[in-house]
Amino acid sequence: MENEKTMKIVTNLDRAGVEALLAQVRGQAQSKNLPELASLFNGVEGMPRAQLELKVANALKWLADKPEHASLGAQLEMAELNLRNI
């Protein structure tokens, strides 16, 4: 139990916060050599909410069988929770 990490869930991100989070996911995906995942978040700045929701959902599906990238999934889940604020 000592090695368990806790992530603070933030549910009050605005558009800029969500876009910054998705850009962070994009950068981490690039650094982990996951170009398919990273490409989902190219050009998210100013994208309509419905498109962002679709991209996040597709990314979560893509990550579903990749437990080694759980931290990216957790960030995307946080983005998903905040999409209603856009």
pLDDT band at 47 (very low <50, low <70, confident <90, very high): very high
Interval 64-71 mean pLDDT = 95
Query: What percentage of the chain exceeds 90 in pLDDT?
Result: 87
Asked if residue 10 belongs to a domain, the reply is no
Residue 47 forms part of a structural domain: yes
The Cα 23–Cα 19 span in angstroms is 6
Arithmetic mean of pLDDT, 31-58: 96
Number of domains composing the chain: 1
| Domain membership flag for residue 7 | no
Identify the residue with better confidence: 16 or 9.
Answer: 16
Residue 8 lies in a domain: no
Owning domain of residue 56: 15-85
36: in domain: yes
d(CA 78, CA 75): 5
Question: Does residue 5 register a pLDDT over 90?
Answer: no
Task: Work out the pLDDT band at 76, boundaries 50, 70, 90.
Answer: very high
CA–CA gap between residue 63 and residue 46 (Å, rounded): 24
